[in-house]
Structure 1
Amino acid sequence: MPSWTKSYIRFVDGLNRRIGRFAMYGIFALVGVLLWSSISKTFFDPSLWTLEIAQFLMVAYYIIGGPYSIQLGSNVRMDLFYGNWSDRKKACYDAVTVLMLIFFLGVLLYGGLSSMAYSFGYFGKEPIGFLFGLVIGTEELGHLERSPTAWRPYLWPIKLVMCIGFFMMLLQVSSELIKDIAKIRGEEI
């Protein structure tokens, strides 16, 4: 394998390892919010924000921690046949399924970017161009989307977290694809 692929794998794996290890502690924030929700409903006036914050934290925990889970190989698999295969056969199977996952994640990322553009007040047909225009300063924000609940938080932060998570997952599965190709070729990475 070329040296740039090894550098890419080290960079992506290191980035997702650090972010994943940090995201693991998000469960404590989720527990804290749910604990406060229980206490406030029992002893005080119920808090309006706790359910939605708990949902947002769970989405962030799941999506940001996903690439680290893929890296560790702790994702769910059907081991009925897979567990008995050789490492090379597993790598061949994983390489094919990772290609399908890359397509699926690409669709999710495009949908997430479209939804995020909508949450920034864009209703046209070119959401990627709009988001790029926001970054470089040629576009302006429209009416920001809010949740239809009583608390009414802005939705763009969680949509941004989802897009970042989908992108990180794409990076991680491309790293896994390179590792699988190396195993198929009998090379060490």
Structure 2
Amino acid sequence: MPKFIVYFVKYVDAVNYRVGRFAMYGIFVMMAILLWSSISKTFFTPSLWTLEMAQFAMVAYYILGGPYSIQLGSNVRMDLLYGGWSLRKKAWVDAFSVFCLLFFLVVLLWGGFSSTAYSLEYGERSPTAWRPQMWPIKVIMCAGILLMLLQALSELFKDIARIRNVEL
């Protein structure tokens, strides 16, 4: 494999590993927000921001942890046929199916960029009582989709290397 592909795979995997390990702690952020929500509803005046902030934290948790999940191979697969195949045949099927994922992610990223630009240009706010700005979560979503796109390319290169019986 060309050196730039080897470096690309190495650096994309390293970045997504670190971002994924950081995003793992997002579950504790969600738990703290929801705990405060319960406490404030029981003992104080209910907070307006807790439900929506928990939703934002969950979006960040899933979208930033997705590339790490792909990297670890812990994504959901239909093992009915796949489990019995050789590594090379799995690589062929994965290399084919990653093109569908890449197409989906490019369309999603394109829509995400235009939505983020709209949000920044017009100061879009959520239509709830709290009315937070929407651009921060949209930027996080675009970053996560971009990282997922890069990880999908990395996985494609790894599959091509497996097909060619080359180690990356």
TM-score, with normalisation over the residues of structure 2? 0.99
**CA-CA distance at 1:16 after TM superposition:** 0.3
Number of equivalent positions: 168
5+ unaligned residues in a row in structure 2: which ranges? none
| Counterpart position of 1:71 | 71
Match of 1:153, SS state, is: coil
Deviations 1:119-167 (A, max 9, x none): 112xxxxxxxxxxxxxxxxxxxxx3000010000000000000000000
C-alpha distance in 2 between matches for 1:120 and 1:10: 34
Larger fraction in helix:
2
Deviations 1:52-88 (A, max 9, x none): 1000000000000000000000011111110000000
TM-score, with normalisation over the residues of structure 1? 0.88
Residues 124-135 of structure 1 aligned to structure 2 (within 5 Å): none
C-alpha distance in 1 between matches for 2:147 and 2:2: 22
C-alpha distance in 1 between matches for 2:126 and 2:4: 44
Whichever residue aligns with residue 54 of structure 2, its letter is A
5+ unaligned residues in a row in structure 1: which ranges? 122-142
**CA-CA distance at 1:91 after TM superposition:** 0.2
Q: 1:178 aligns with which of 157, 160, 166?
A: 157
**CA-CA distance at 1:2 after TM superposition:** 1.1
| Counterpart position of 1:7 | 7
| Counterpart position of 1:110 | 110
C-alpha distance in 1 between matches for 2:137 and 2:125: 11
Q: 1:161 aligns with which of 109, 130, 140?
A: 140
Residues 12-91 of structure 1 aligned to structure 2 (within 5 Å): 12-91=12-91
C-alpha distance in 2 between matches for 1:99 and 1:167: 15
**CA-CA distance at 1:100 after TM superposition:** 0.6
C-alpha distance in 2 between matches for 1:112 and 1:4: 28
C-alpha distance in 2 between matches for 1:77 and 1:40: 41
